Amino acid sequence: MHEPKEFYLSQLPLLRNLFTFDGYLTISDSLVRFIKDICTGVGRIEEPGFCYLTPQISDLHCDWNRPDRAETLQVAYFGTNWSRRMPLLFRALDPMGILRIHRPEESWAMENLASYQGPADFDGVGPQRTYASYGIGLARAGSPVPPSR
C-alpha cells in the first residue's frame, strides 16, 4: 500500500477491498498504523511488512552543457492511468509546447492534448532515456483525494 489513508477512507469500495488482501506491504510508518488500526476494528490481526523499493542504477543523464539546451528543454510525464490527475497543469503546459506526455493511448480517456507523444518504450531504459533527452520529469506523489461533500 502506498496511497495516503485518506484515499481509502474517501471511497467505500477501496476501503472494503482492504479487507480482502492476504497481507500488506508498505513503505510508510503511518500506513502500518492505519492498516493495523483498520484491521483491528474488524477483528483481524495484521502485521504489515515493509517494502523497500530500490531503483536501478543508470548512467543516463541530461546533457545540461549542450549549447541548445535552453531552447530544447522539455517536461516529460509518464502515465498509465488517467484519473483526472493534474488536468489544470496539463492544460496550462500544453499550449506552451514544452510538455511531452507518454502513455498507452487506450488507458486514458482525456481531452485531446497536443503534448501526447504516444507510448514510451518500457524496455528497462526507455523512461530514463526520455527523461535524459527532455531534461525534466514531472511526477505526482500520492493519488488525488476526492473533495468531501
| Secondary structure of residue 102 in the 3-state scheme | strand
Tell me how far apart the alpha carbons of residues 56 and 142 are, in angstroms, rounded to a whole number: 21
For residue 36, the Cα-to-chain-centroid distance in whole angstroms is: 25
Q: Which pTM was predicted?
A: 0.56
Tell me how far apart the alpha carbons of residues 75 and 115 are, in angstroms, rounded to a whole number: 10
Tell me how far apart the alpha carbons of residues 100 and 83 are, in angstroms, rounded to a whole number: 18
CA-based nearest residue to 108, from 75, 133, 85, 131: 85
| Secondary structure of residue 4 in the 3-state scheme | coil
| Secondary structure of residue 38 in the 3-state scheme | helix
Residues facing 77 on adjacent strands: 101
Each residue's pLDDT, cut to its tens digit, for the chain (149 residues) gives 888 888 889 888 888 888 888 899 988 889 999 999 999 988 999 899 988 766 667 788 888 898 998 888 999 988 766 555 677 888 899 999 999 988 877 665 556 788 888 887 877 788 888 888 999 888 765 544 444 44
Could you tell me the residue ranges of all domains in the chain?
5-50, 69-137
Long-range contacts at 46-49 (CB < 8 A, ≥ 24 apart): 48/1, 48/23, 48/24, 49/23, 49/24, 49/25
> Which pLDDT does position 112 carry in this prediction?
76
